[in-house]
Amino acid sequence: MMNDPKRVAAILMYAGTLPFIVCTIVLLFGNTIGLGSYREFATQAITTYAAVIVSFLGGIQWGVAVVTHEQRPQTAKSLLLLSVVPSLLAWAMLFLPSNSSRVIVAIFLVGFVWVIDALLHLQKVIPTWFFDLRSVVSAVVLAALILAMLVG
């Protein structure tokens, strides 16, 4: 069961959504459950974690570029650039003065990285199982960030 890399990837990806979910719960229900004083921290935590995740996903895209550079040199060249730009923007996002602006940029970046993967899937560069899993996880993350924007 745990020898299947697809299953391990799924478990780890779903586990990776937990910080987004927990922060959103604090933002939505913090006052009700006695965690209202942690709302500011939850917003900072969700955007910081989004920056980490965007950078992590850029590393996956960089790896895809390295592996496919001989068969798809133009795709690899584009991917090398596209894998770094969101990471740099995510780092810069952390210096924005307001929580709301950081959340908005995080939404854009998570969506942008998903679009890159969608294009890779259309070109049959990444497997369908991976893209399907990324799509579900991205939807959860985007929903958490949108809720954070609405209630933050």
Share of residues in the chain with pLDDT > 70 (%): 99
Per-residue tokens: 122? 């259309």
From first CA to last CA, the distance across the chain in angstroms is: 40
pTM over 0.85: yes
- Res 152 pLDDT > 90: no
Residue at token pair 């969608």: 118
Residue 42 CB: number of other CB atoms within 10 A? 22
Residue 82 — pLDDT band, cuts 50, 70, 90?
very high
Residue type, 12: L
